[in-house]
A and B are shown apart, each in its own frame.
Chain A
Amino acid sequence: MAKMSLEQLRKLREEKKQDLTRREVEGKEIQIIVGMGTCGIAAGAKETFDAVVKAVEEKGLGEQVIIRQTGCMGLCYVEPTVEVVKPGMPTVIYGKMTKDVAKDLVAKHLVEGKLLDDHIFDRPAADIMKK
């Protein structure tokens, strides 16, 4: 992208904000967001990421699911952490999401519409940018 002017920056910001409220990224409505800070990676987040990719493909959900990365969610004691955003389901953060559990996640949460027991953790604080 070429260098922006002030107007272009503002326009881009508005566009991207709307994308956020639509909760849709690149036309895909299900998001799986893996915490990929050093803490997460040390706990196996890369393997988790790969396992999610594989499981999503196996279930034929590639068209609907986008898998993204983010930084540390602050829940280092239950790394790897994964956030799942799916219409009709509450948005939740899963912890202790090892590569084996990741398969389960796709099968249960995405396919069956069920939350995974014993893996849900709360985001540690409210989002100050929402107000």
Chain B
Amino acid sequence: MAYKNFILVCAGTGCESNKGIEIYESLLREAEAQGVKNDVQIVKTGCFGFCEKGPIVKVLPSESFYVEVKPEDAKEIIAEQVVKGREVKRLLYKKDEKSASNVKVEDIEFYQKQFRVVLRNCGVINPENIDEYIARDGYSGLEKALFKMKPDDVIAELKASGLRGRGGAGFPTFMKWDLTKKAPGDVKYVVCNADEGDPGAYMNRSTIEGDPHSLLEAMAICGYTIGSHHGYIYIRAEYPLAVERLKIAIKQAKDYGLLGKDILGSGFDFDIEIRLGAGAFVCGEETALLQSLEGKRGMPTPKPPFPANCGLWKKPTVINNVETYVNVAVIMTKGAAWYSKIGTEKSKGTKTFALTGKIQNSGLVEVPMGTTLRDIVFDIGGGIRGGRKFKGVQTGGPSGGIITEKSLDEPITYESLSALGSMMGSGGMIIMDEDDCVVDIAKFYMAFCCDESCGKCAPCRIGTKQMHAILEKISKGTAVEADLDKLEKIGKSMTKASLCMLGGSAANPTLSTLKHFREEYLEHIRDHKCRSGKCKDLVVYEIDASKCIGCGLCARRCPVPCIAGEKKQPHVIDKSRCIKCGECFKACKFGAVAKK
């Protein structure tokens, strides 16, 4: 026996608080009451996004999309939709007041706030089967370029699309390609930077794992455009699955003649090789990457000369990151006119982000440029886990800065993020809540940069180390106020005098937290207090004798152990031996353990 209808009730946190469960139960009751419980299955589902119009109820197979549903609407939905097979018009989503009300789910563009251009094939096709890529218009961009366009037409198309590099500062892609095309030389190279190294960022990995052919297609288009016959994908060895899928994809493309000699009979030759990086963060910096690709120690070199003129083995080289290339494949397939409608005036297209940290729905998201951080954090991400308070979001990884509550409504563009003291970066987005300590965050990123500095230039090599030492002192409560001035002094010099962006931006997390949360820094220094309790040296655990019932649970949990007391008598923590792990605090059911 099969159901005729399926009613999906959004029971995500947003809708749940908006009575999703009540609606679900009402629908069940009504189906029973109206005698159709065998015709319809009612299920609870995860969040549909679009929470401002919640609770949301979807009916399949009619794809009716009901918004702002109330429990009392259950009767009507069952009566109309299930019994009579008609939609409940008044509940249907309306794009605006005038438009027709029977909007199908698929027609509701952006209803989920996400828009998947780069990730269009991720989670849709089998990445190990080239046919599935081809079926979704794969390699039609290359086809168009090879047979219908001259290299300059491709550049014009890219210019019209407004595409800017997705790896960092947002240099116009067409300009990079054009410079390389015009650079003198017979031998040129196409390089893909797949050395994604920001803590918390995995957009490129997922993109390659889900849709490797998009990258290959775009690199071949680039080769055709600039007059190169050889491409390299520099990918970290820590991405074995991505590497494996790339290998399979390259083999399939070669077998089909979509890579290699005389592609599709066009006379154009292009080959791609994979080079594994050993996991140095600095090798994500393009000049260091090129050094590493040449087999040398990965250290940035000065610019100029730029890779467009003097890149790999001193030959003109285009180097773009994975996301930039994948965008190219879409632009060539769907056209610049289509593409340039997405995003803002200066920042076109979409951006992928890896949403992690204290967020309800962590995941790989893609939004049109210009989407606000609030939309990403609260709608797509479902807000902060456990109902805690939002503190900030770190974009751009260790190179970015913290963006606070007051800037959440800022639309995301290259310019707006740098104006906020952060950067687009490759797309890591780490959400922090009130339990995170800014000193601890700054210290974490500084330790990362300190470890990952290539050691070439003095400001970065020594500056990161000295700044980390000061942050360490602050977190231990041994710093003085003048240390904050030193942080700023080193930070400013490091930003100005470093050779590459690793050093040039390493101070961003510290300087931005210092700007937005100076009070918290001062609390650490003056009051020896860390309000979130992350800085263990500043935390003291004590048992409030008036609340302790002497159950002994804390003492049993204590790993040292340093909690003692008679049964049913208030217990005491030996502070001299306490390692501040916080287990007692978490264990106590009576709130008797205090964190100070």
Contacts and interface: CB of A to CB of B under 8 A. Distances in A.
Contacts of B476: none
A98 interface: no
A120 B132 contact: no
Interface string B508-520: 0000000000000
User: Of A5, A73, A95, which is in contact with the most chain B CB atoms at under 10 Å from its CB?
Assistant: A73
Interface string A109-131: 00001111111111111111110
Contact of B114 (A39, A78, A125): A125
Nearest to B109: A126
B117 A73 contact: no
B7 to A, nearest CB: 10
Interface stretch (B40-48, B74-82, B450-458): B40-48
Nearest to B105: A126
Interface stretch (B186-194, B251-259, B270-278, B293-301): B251-259
Interface residues of B, number: 73
A19 to B, nearest CB: 7
A74 B265 contact: no
A71 interface: yes
B114 A37 contact: no
Contacts, number: 187
A105 to B, nearest CB: 13
Contact of B43 (A75, A116, A130): A116
Contacts of A13: 134-135, 137-138, 140
Contacts of A70: 122-127, 210
A122 B123 contact: no
Interface string A50-70: 000000000000000000111
A38 B128 CA distance: 14
Contacts of A115: 6, 8, 41, 43
Contacts of B386: none
Contacts of A19: 135
B143 A35 contact: no
B366 interface: yes
A22 to B, nearest CB: 11
Nearest to A116: B43
Nearest to B362: A77
B555 interface: no
A124 B122 CA distance: 11
A120 B8 contact: yes
B11 interface: yes
User: Of A36, A83, A119, A130, which is in contact with the most chain B CB atoms at under 10 Å from its CB?
Assistant: A36
A11 to B, nearest CB: 11
Interface of A: 1-6, 9-10, 12-13, 16-17, 19-20, 33, 35-39, 41, 68-78, 81, 83, 88-90, 95, 113-130
11 contacts: A9-B143, A12-B134, A20-B136, A37-B206, A71-B121, A72-B364, A116-B43, A124-B366, A126-B106, A128-B334, A129-B137
Given A37-B205, A38-B241, A71-B211, 15 more contacts: A6-B147, A9-B134, A13-B134, A38-B209, A69-B126, A70-B123, A72-B122, A74-B123, A74-B363, A77-B362, A88-B2, A118-B11, A122-B45, A126-B106, A129-B136
